[in-house]
């Protein structure tokens, strides 16, 4: 009797194990099927994106750029899927992936990671330099959403080493966790601290320049504008603006039309990042691209500064069509109104402010949606008597300097970088 119970118990246990094993196998199949479908959808989306990529004749290293673009599109699409699944926001994923770069040692530089008040910074100091050296304050790009001290280590080390300057890289708080203007305020805080304490790092406070690329290139003149009110601090010697992102009023300027699908920065992605930076819902993206956020009053007021008529004809030969009129959205205008303030957009500062700005170096790239932002700001500076040293990379695209000192460096990046170094060494 006892033996029968044991046998029956064993049979029940075996059946339970078989059932458990079957459920486990079913779950594994479901997960495998889901993973395959996910990958197929991702590949299909990336393929659709890649088909729209435009690589104009004359652009530097088109095949290499195409490969980089595939990687970028993969990251963007993965981030978009994760955001729709409510796992993390697209910028959060892109920020993580862009920072996943190795840390390289540089025997010719001392590197110091510290904080200026509450702002994380990294200082690069060339070895063997005496006191009274020049200083560079670097504000990196990334639309206030991406970028990091680590991601910009190669470019910052190159600038510090080759110009024999002490370089401060400012680590900004980033969105979506930290809303605008947190990024601008961090740059201002770190700059003020460095100007006050420059001698502690062997820097002559009268030999400091502020540099920035993309969004950082748009923040740099905002910092310079703010410093005009600080009579107690040394004056910045110069500002270096590298393909700056400097306005959100007109996404139909010639460069936005000509380069809307040119890597690595696309027209739609630019507007999307700008909306995220200004805390505006992406549901309004198409309206913003068409210009529905700009009133007729604003067009009249700022049209003298932001208009295709201010772009030289030589930059319209690849095509330009004036955009058709669109209905004005007062609701959208209210959401975007902060981006029309001079404290957020240096291009809209009044003439009496602009004419006080320091000497400027400006880099623009032919195949960059932001090319005309730089050209418009160049005209504003020159119209107000500010000396401008301008380099236009005729075969360049957005972000070229990020390849400097890497194995995939573009020739146009090396030329542009050497021009920047020559400018810095003048001070």
Cis peptide before 331 (omega within 30 of 0): no
Q: For residues 252 and 356, state if they share a domain.
A: yes
Q: Is the pLDDT of residue 178 over 90?
A: no
* Alpha-carbon span 185 to 183, nearest angstrom: 5
pLDDT of residue 10: 47
Residues 73 and 130 grouped into a single domain: no
In this structure, how many other beta carbons lie within 10 angstroms of the beta carbon of residue 143?
A: 26
- pLDDT tier for residue 132 given thresholds of 50, 70 and 90: confident
Structure tokens at 153: 């280590």
Mean pLDDT, the chain, rounded, equals 88
Do 66 and 145 fall into the same domain? no
Residues 154 and 45 in one domain: no
Q: What is the mean pLDDT of residues 1-23?
A: 48
CATH of the domain at 316: 3.40.50.1820
- Higher local confidence (pLDDT), 412 or 93: 412
Q: What is the mean pLDDT of residues 257-270?
A: 94
Q: Which residue has the higher pLDDT, 37 or 104?
A: 104
Could you tell me which residue, 15 or 56, shows the higher pLDDT?
56
Q: How many CB atoms are closer than 10 A to CB 416?
A: 23
- The answer to whether residue 113 sits within a structural domain is yes
Q: What is the pLDDT of residues 84-99, one digit of tens each?
A: 788 877 777 777 776 6
368 catalytically annotated: yes
Q: Which of 49, 250, 274, 368 is catalytic?
A: 368
For residues 334 and 405, state if they share a domain. Answer: yes
Examine residue 354 and state whether it is found in any structural domain, yes or no: yes
Statement: residue 45 has pLDDT above 70 = no
In this prediction, residue 52 has a pLDDT band, given cuts at 50, 70 and 90, of: confident
Query: Considering only CA atoms, which of 415, 361, 313 is closest in space to residue 60?
Result: 415
Is the Cβ–Cβ distance between 365 and 398 less than 8 Å?
yes
Q: What is the rounded average pLDDT of the residues 139-165?
A: 93
Predicted confidence at residue 89, as pLDDT, reads 77
Exposure string (b/e) for 383-410, b if CB count within 10 Å is 16 or more? ebebeebebbbebbbbbbbbbbbeeebb
Over range 236-259, report the average pLDDT. 97
Domain end (from 30, 62, 88): 88
The predicted model scores a pTM of: 0.87
Same domain? 174 vs 284: yes
Q: What is the CA radius of gyration of the chain?
A: 26
pLDDT at 29: 66
Q: From the candidates 165, 398, 402, 405, which is the catalytic residue?
A: 398
Q: Are residues 128 and 31 in the same domain?
A: no
Report the share of the chain in percent with pLDDT over 70.
Answer: 86
In a domain, 7, yes or no: no
Distance separating alpha carbons of residues 272 and 254, to the nearest angstrom:
19
100 found inside a domain: no
* Rounded Cα distance, 263 and 400, in Å: 11
Assigned domain for 101 exists = no
pLDDT over 50 (residue 421): yes
Reply yes or no on whether the pLDDT at 20 is more than 70.
no
> Considering only 33-42, 60-69, 117-126, 328-337, which range has the smallest mean pLDDT?
33-42
Residues 128 and 232 in one domain: yes
Residue 279 has pLDDT above 50, yes or no: yes
Q: What is the C-alpha separation between 230 and 228, in angstroms, rounded?
A: 6
Active site residue 398: yes
- Range in 42-46, 64-68, 76-80, 336-340 the model is least confident about: 42-46
Task: Give the pLDDT confidence score for residue 3 in this predicted structure.
Answer: 46
Total number of domains in the chain? 2
Q: Confidence class of residue 174 from pLDDT cuts 50, 70 and 90?
A: confident
Residue 141 — pLDDT band, cuts 50, 70, 90? very high
8 in any annotated domain: no
Q: Which domain holds residue 25?
A: 15-88
- Same domain? 57 vs 192: no
What's the pLDDT at 2? Answer: 43
| Residue where a domain terminates, one of 62, 88, 114 | 88
Taking residues 114-143, what's their average pLDDT?
93
Residues 42 and 116 in one domain: no
Strands across the sheet with 133-139, in order?
109-116, 119-126, 166-171, 133-139, 203-213, 238-242, 359-367, 388-397
Measuring CA to CA, which residue among 283, 290, 282, 279 is closest to residue 334? 279
Q: Within this chain, do residues 343 and 388 fall inside the same structural domain, yes or no?
A: yes
More confident residue, 287 or 52: 287
Q: Judge whether 275 lies within some domain.
A: yes
Q: What is the pLDDT of residue 80?
A: 78
Mean pLDDT across 210-227: 97
Question: Where a domain ends, among 88, 115, 150?
Answer: 88
In this structure, is residue 289 part of a structural domain?
A: yes
Q: Which of 163, 214, 255, 339 is catalytic?
A: 214
User: Is the predicted pLDDT of residue 5 greater than 50, yes or no?
Assistant: no
**Is there a single domain that holds both residue 74 and residue 119?**
no
């Amino acid at each position: 009797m006892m033996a029968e119970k044991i046998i029956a118990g064993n049979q029940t246990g075996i059946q339970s194990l078989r059932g458990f094993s079957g459920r486990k196998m079913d779950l594994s199949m479901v997960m495998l099927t889901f993973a395959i479908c996910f990958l197929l959808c991702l590949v299909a989306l990336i393929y659709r994106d890649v088909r729209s990529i435009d690589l104009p004749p004359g652009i530097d290293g088109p095949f290499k750029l195409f490969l980089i673009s595939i990687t970028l599109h993969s990251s963007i699409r993965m981030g978009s899927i994760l955001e729709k699944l409510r796992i993390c926001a697209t910028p959060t994923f892109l920020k993580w992936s862009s920072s996943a770069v190795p840390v390289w040692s540089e025997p010719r530089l001392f590197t110091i990671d510290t904080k200026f008040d509450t702002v994380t910074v990294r200082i690069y100091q060339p070895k063997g330099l005496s006191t009274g050296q020049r200083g560079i304050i670097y504000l990196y790009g990334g639309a206030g959403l991406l970028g990091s001290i680590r991601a910009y280590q190669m470019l910052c080390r190159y600038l510090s080493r080759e110009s024999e300057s002490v370089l401060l890289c400012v680590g900004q708080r980033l969105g979506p966790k930290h809303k605008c203007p947190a990024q601008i305020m961090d740059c201002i805080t770190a700059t003020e601290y460095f100007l006050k304490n420059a001698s502690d790092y062997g820097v002559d406070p009268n030999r400091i320049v502020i540099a920035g690329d993309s969004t950082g290139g748009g923040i740099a003149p905002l910092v310079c504008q703010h410093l005009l009110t600080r009579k107690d601090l040394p004056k910045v010697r110069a500002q270096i603006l590298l393909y700056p992102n400097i306005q959100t009023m007109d996404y139909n300027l010639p460069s936005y039309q000509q380069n809307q699908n040119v890597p690595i920065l696309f027209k739609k992605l630019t507007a999307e990042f700008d909306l995220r930076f200004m805390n505006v819902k992406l549901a309004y993206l198409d309206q913003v691209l068409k210009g529905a956020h700009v009133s007729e009053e604003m067009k009249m007021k700022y049209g003298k500064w932001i208009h295709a008529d201010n772009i030289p004809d030589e930059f319209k030969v690849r095509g330009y069509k004036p955009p058709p009129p669109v209905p004005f959205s007062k609701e959208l205008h209210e959401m975007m109104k902060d981006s029309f303030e001079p404290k957020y957009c240096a291009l809209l500062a009044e003439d009496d402010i602009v004419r006080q700005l320091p000497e400027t170096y400006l880099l623009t790239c032919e195949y960059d949606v932001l090319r005309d932002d730089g050209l418009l700001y160049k005209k504003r500076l020159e119209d107000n008597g500010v000396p401008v040293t301008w380099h236009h990379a005729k075969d360049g695209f957005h972000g070229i300097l990020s390849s400097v000192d890497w194995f995939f460096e573009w020739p146009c990046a090396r030329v542009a970088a050497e021009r920047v170094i020559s400018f810095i060494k003048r001070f």
